[in-house]
Structure 1
Amino acid sequence: MIYLPYFRGRQFDLQALRAVAQQHILPSNLIPIIEPVRDIKALPQTVAAFVEHDQPLVLVTNPTVSDYALTQQKLHDWQPWRDNPNLILGHVLGPTTTPEALKPLAGHRTLLIARQYDELVAAQAAGWLTLPTYLLVPPEARIRQLIHRPTVSLFDHAWFPAKEQTYANLVDGFFSDDWQRVTETNNQGFSDYTIGGGRYSEHGYPARAVTLHLTYFAGNQLRIHRFVSDDRNDFKHPKEKFFQAVAKLAAWLPAQPMATQTPAARQLAAYYDQHHFPGLGVVKRLSLEHHLQVMAAFLRQNYPV
């Protein structure tokens, strides 16, 4: 049973991943995927942190979002770690996928990523689907009928409220129980875009409310709780809105099981007592750290390797 959380390589994503790598808490069956989007120092720093702490990581070699793939001369390259056994090379199937494009993956542990059914049909006809260590596919019944090898299904569980709504319309809800379907479908594991969701934007989305997102387990079900600021009238005053939201988190967290009271969640709650606004980027980083800490503990307890 493996869990491959999928991250676009934004600054706060990479900071969260680097932090948990340095904490050395991730079991070997929790393998993050990074699809680079920016030529930034945090990318090689994150790869180095995983390699140095002997933890596996997937790096997508042909990213398809943002302009990273178009940057010819990288200032902050991850290539020095390319041959490290902890680094798994990922490739996204697409129009430019050819036998020549796949040759650089030879001799490595690999992840092949398919986002469309038609791409899988073409790849199977070309004989490429037996090559990768892991095959990441959409969770579709017709794909299970097509592919006769273990796969990893990629889900997008993030919910974004409609324009006239906010997260206050659904402060607590179901998030995932993907691991329960793995054995039923003969899969290798499961994957998702964590709490950030699969859609990508260069500049993010403005919001009238400040919302803190924390995943937590209730039995064998992963749920998500959202702490939403009361002020949702305009796009101003993020600091004041943060304190409204974090006050709710600080009141909620002490009543939760210790598995939910992760170091990242406690750090978020501490900002209320300290009356300190760390910035929304730090809030996002800690929310992602919390999710990884929760999932790491769940896998260690239920699916040890």
Structure 2
Amino acid sequence: MIYFPYFRGRQYDLLALKNIAQQHILPRNIIPIIEPVRDIRALPQTVAAFVEHDQPLVVIANPTVSDYALTQQKLYDWRPYAENPNLIVGHILTPTTIPGDLHATPTQQTLLVARQYDELVAAKHAEWLDDPTYLLVPPEARIRQLLTRPTGSLFDHAWIPEHDRSYADIEDGFFSEDWQTATWDGYTSVSDYTIGGAHYSEHGYPSRAVTLHLTYFAGDQLRIHRFVSDDRDDYRHPKEKFFQAVAKLAAWLPAQPAAVQTPAALALADYHVTQHFPGLGVVKRLSLEHHLQTMAGYFKEHYPC
């Protein structure tokens, strides 16, 4: 079983991945995917960290959620690493995808992300789908019936509150058990957008509450706990709201099993002790690092490779 956690290449997503690569904790069957969204120095630095620490990584060559792909002259290009055997070049299936993009060589693997049924039908008729090393598709019955090769599922498990709701409405809940059910549906790998979700916004959006997200395992089920600030009346005072949320995390974490008390989770909880506000970007980075540290521990125990 392979897990492909899918990241958009924002600054703090990349910093989380770079730190994880340097910790060298990911087993080889956890392979992050980066879809670049900005031409920033952290992108090639992150790719370099995975290459230098002999860990596999996927980079999407034709990103679709930002204007990054339209930038002809990249200041910080990841492509000098494209021939490294640890780097898997990924493509999103679009009407402009060409067969040569998907062909895997003996030394270079490729990955194809297919998001639309109609495009998959066309690619199948053109006999493109056997070329990539890995194929990720939405977990839909009609798509499963269409494919005859080993395939992975790509699903968005993140819940984003709408309208007048907030994360305080569901502070603890189910997140995923894809790796448990994958073989029932014939999947050989699984992928998700981690705690960040599939939605992409170039500039983000304000929130009335500060929420810390921590994934954890209860048996074989991955759950998510949300620590939400009590103050949710307006968009002001993020520092004070952070301290409200992190106080709840600091009270909850010591009662959890050792596997939940990852280095990243402990680093978050320590901000309650020091009463230091690191900024919400650092909070996001540590939450993502915690998720990868959690998944690494679980896969090493249950899917050793």
1:1-305 equivalence runs, <5 A: 1-102=1-102, 106=105, 108-305=108-305
Task: Tell me the SS of whatever aligns to 1:253.
Answer: helix
Distance 2:101 2:49 in 1: 28
181-190 or 225-234: which moved more?
181-190
Distance 1:300 1:279 in 2: 32
Describe the superposition over 1:33-83 as per-residue Cα deviations: whole angstroms up to 9, x where unpaired: 000000000000000000000000000001111111011011000111110
Distance 1:30 1:94 in 2: 26
Letter matched to residue 236 of structure 1: R
Task: Tell me the SS of whatever aligns to 1:135.
Answer: strand
TM-score normalised according to structure 1 size: 0.98
Letter matched to residue 45 of structure 1: Q
1:189 shift after superposition:
1.1
Task: Tell me the SS of whatever aligns to 2:184.
Answer: coil
1:275 shift after superposition:
0.5
Distance 2:101 2:180 in 1: 35
Distance 1:194 1:2 in 2: 15
Distance 2:89 2:8 in 1: 15
Describe the superposition over 1:121-173 as per-residue Cα deviations: whole angstroms up to 9, x where unpaired: 00100111101110010010011100001101001000011210110000000
Task: Tell me the SS of whatever aligns to 1:184.
Answer: helix
TM-score normalised according to structure 2 size: 0.98
1:208 shift after superposition:
0.2
Matched residues, number: 304
Distance 2:299 2:102 in 1: 32
Distance 1:42 1:271 in 2: 25
Letter matched to residue 269 of structure 1: A
Task: Tell me the SS of whatever aligns to 1:215.
Answer: strand
Q: Alignment RMSD, CA only?
A: 1.0
Distance 1:60 1:181 in 2: 27
1:98 shift after superposition:
2.2
Letter matched to residue 182 of structure 1: A
Letter matched to residue 246 of structure 2: V
Distance 1:186 1:102 in 2: 22
Structure 1 gaps of 5+ residues are none
Letter matched to residue 113 of structure 1: V
Describe the superposition over 1:13-42 as per-residue Cα deviations: whole angstroms up to 9, x where unpaired: 000000000000000000000000000000
Letter matched to residue 76 of structure 1: Y
Task: Tell me the SS of whatever aligns to 1:159.
Answer: coil
Distance 1:217 1:30 in 2: 17
1:102 shift after superposition:
4.3
Structure 2 gaps of 5+ residues are none
1:106 shift after superposition:
4.8
Distance 1:21 1:118 in 2: 37
Contact conserved, 2:16 with 2:288, CA < 8 A, in 1? yes
Distance 1:76 1:194 in 2: 25
Distance 2:168 2:98 in 1: 47
Letter matched to residue 79 of structure 1: R
Contact conserved, 2:102 with 2:112, CA < 8 A, in 1? no
Letter matched to residue 122 of structure 1: A
Distance 2:205 2:223 in 1: 23
The percentage of aligned residue pairs carrying the same residue is 73
Letter matched to residue 113 of structure 2: I
Distance 1:282 1:84, change over 3 A: same
